[in-house]
Amino acid sequence: MLTIYGVYRSRAARTYWMAGELGLPFVSVPVIQARRTGDPAAADVALHTQSADFLAVNPPGLIPCIDDDGFVMNESLAINLYLARKHGGPLSGQSLTEEAEMLQWTLWAATEVEPHAVKIILTLDANAAASEQGRLTIRAATKALRKAFALLDRRLAATGHVVADRFTVADLNLAEVFRYTMSQTELFDAAPNVRAWLAACQARPAFKAMMATREKEPE
């Protein structure tokens, strides 16, 4: 049985979505980020990323984390690549070159897109977008993302997918990274293929089910 550690309002959302796409049964352990607890050392605090019980499972203290029949790993995008490889089907690579492309695009999203996208989402979450520093942060991040949006837009022009001509783990991984940028409509206005692709990814039943659960969690 697959166990997924992490609340849905975290990068664990990516792994919950992936499990839904694959139709995998799983146990969810709602580990919250320590920064959201107020006082991580409080006696009645919820299980969090610095709790001794969680660190015993995953010493890096990161969510999501999975325990797949004794195999423990973290890093959400890598977990999804692992689950696709293990369970096969259309979400996985059907050849060595497809697997390589899925890895390539996932690493690209993690290194070239997510660092800037995270700045946007953290600024919004902190209700700091209206401040001068917040505006500068979002403006700089948006500017830095234009090249990535243009590149992905060209990639999607042929088939509407990141790899091959079907929805794969590469689409899922990138869609979850690009979700952080959805507030910046100017980026999507300049990249209509990215806009249509992200909407199609988020129209999938497994994504909707994941988001429905996520929205029930406290912010």
Report the top-level CATH class of 96-206: mainly alpha
Architecture of domain 2-87 in this structure:
3-Layer(aba) Sandwich (3.40)
Q: Give the pLDDT confidence score for residue 42 in this predicted structure.
A: 84
Low-confidence residues of the chain: pLDDT under 70 = none
Q: Are strands 65-68 and 2-5 parallel, antiparallel or unpaired?
A: antiparallel
Tell me the per-residue pLDDT of 122-132, one tens digit each, with 9 for 90 and over: 998 888 777 88
Residue 29 φ then ψ, to 5°: -110, 110
Do 96-206 and 2-87 fall under one CATH topology?
Answer: no
The ranges assigned to domains in the chain are: 2-87, 96-206
Where residue 131 falls (left for φ over 0; alpha for ψ -120 to 50; beta otherwise) is: beta
Contacts of 211 (CB under 8 A, 6+ apart): 13, 202
Q: Give the pLDDT confidence score for residue 128 in this predicted structure.
A: 73
Question: Cα dist. 121→33, 116, 124, 160 in Å?
Answer: 16, 9, 5, 26
Tell me the per-residue pLDDT of 28-61, one tens digit each, with 9 for 90 and over: 999 999 888 888 878 778 899 999 999 999 999 9
Please indicate, yes or no, whether the overall pTM of this predicted structure exceeds 0.75. yes
